[in-house]
């Protein structure tokens, strides 16, 4: 089976590609546009193991300008992870990048996919499409994103559905809830917290720190994502992928202080625009369709991320 993964050099994409290649009959074509120059070093590190694998091909190319007809030749499954990430940076004139990479690039890829005979086109979305909700959130909850980033990802979902109806592309949508673990981007909260405590520097906490998240460990998320490959009855479905534990930001910091045996220096500032107070995934559908039961405790996952960051410091 030949699989195309967009965003292959990213945090999630690189883990997904490595896991796919553990299956003997799978070849992976990875695409990444390196659209954020500051992440180039990180992405090259993410690709290190992949580039030496005989069943992996890598193309550094912007999806908007790629020869997608050639790249999609003989491909049976597409995982579309490539996107401009981040809630904080999606406001103002920066939104144009989100339009270009999250909406326009998705439409161009779908247009190319409409000319292929795919088994599955798996679009990776986000819990940010839900906005502010109370309690567990199921997939039929009305999306009300709070940020331009959330709007851009929801627009990608709607594009997928339009192409599904008009061209019968076999779409599956996964909505990820707050991923963490080894290789997490340096601008993301857990990386900042761990790095700050390790180096005895103040760490920024937006709002009162009591906001809660459904934290999903990267390995659990990837297992759910791989399960879509073989699952039946998932075409046209939207599926939440959440974690084993929810916690507040202050609770996470407390766990990190225990693991690192070091007190954090907290620098509180205003709550971010577009940041929901709480997230909580109802994963009933993922359990039913994907046999998905996240295994990693928050503490165990944080231990693995700490090890990864310490390795970088060596």
Q: Among candidates 127, 140, 181, 162, which has minimal Cα distance to 301? A: 181
Q: Spot the catalytic one: 98, 123, 130, 149.
A: 149
Pairing, β 202-206 against β 265-269: parallel
Respond yes or no: is residue 149 known to be catalytic. Answer: yes
Q: CA–CA separation, 47 vs 60, rounded Å? A: 11
Buried/exposed code over 16-51 (b: 16+ C-beta within 10 A; e: otherwise): bbbbbbeeeebbbbbbbbebbeebeebbeebbeebe
Half-sphere exposure of 257 (CA within 13 A, CB side): 11
Residues 6+ apart with CB under 8 A from 115: 69
Angle, helices 189-198 vs 298-313, to 10°: value is 60
Going through the chain in order, the beta strands assigned E by DSSP cover 2-6, 27-32, 56-60, 77-80, 120-126, 171-176, 179-180, 202-206, 212-217, 238-241, 245-248, 265-269
Q: CA–CA separation, 39 vs 54, rounded Å? A: 25
As annotated, the active-site residues are 149
């Amino acid at each position: 089976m030949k699989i195309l993964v967009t965003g292959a050099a990213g945090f999630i994409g690189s883990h997904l590609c490595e896991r796919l290649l553990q299956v003997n009959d799978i070849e992976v074509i990875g695409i990444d546009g390196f659209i954020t120059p500051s992440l180039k070093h990180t992405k090259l590190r993410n690709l290190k193991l992949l580039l030496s694998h005989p069943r992996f091909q890598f193309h550094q190319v912007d999806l908007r300008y790629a020869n997608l007809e050639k790249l999609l030749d003989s491909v049976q499954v597409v995982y579309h992870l490539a996107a401009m990430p981040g809630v904080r940076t999606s406001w103002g004139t920066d939104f144009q990048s989100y339009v270009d990479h999250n909406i326009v690039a998705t439409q161009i890829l779908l247009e190319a996919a409409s000319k292929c005979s795919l088994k599955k086109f798996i679009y990776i979305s986000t819990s940010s499409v839900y906005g502010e909700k109370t309690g567990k959130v199921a997939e039929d909850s009305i999306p009300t994103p709070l940020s331009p980033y959330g709007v851009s990802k929801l627009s990608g979902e709607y594009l997928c559905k339009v192409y599904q109806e008009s061209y019968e592309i076999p779409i599956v949508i996964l909505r990820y809830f707050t991923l963490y673990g080894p290789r997490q981007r340096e601008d993301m909260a857990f990386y900042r917290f761990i790095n700050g405590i390790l180096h005895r520097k103040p760490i920024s906490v937006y709002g009162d720190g009591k906001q809660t998240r459904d934290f999903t460990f990267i390995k659990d998320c990837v297992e759910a994502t791989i399960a879509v490959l073989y699952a039946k009855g998932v075409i046209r479905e939207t599926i939440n992928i959440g974690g084993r534990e929810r916690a507040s930001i202050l609770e996470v910091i407390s766990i990190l202080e225990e693991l690192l045996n070091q007190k954090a220096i907290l620098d509180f500032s205003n709550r971010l625009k577009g940041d929901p107070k709480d997230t909580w995934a109802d994963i009933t559908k993922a359990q039913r369709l994907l046999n998905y039961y996240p295994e990693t405790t928050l503490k165990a996952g944080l231990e693995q991320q700490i090890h990864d960051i310490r390795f970088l410091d060596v």
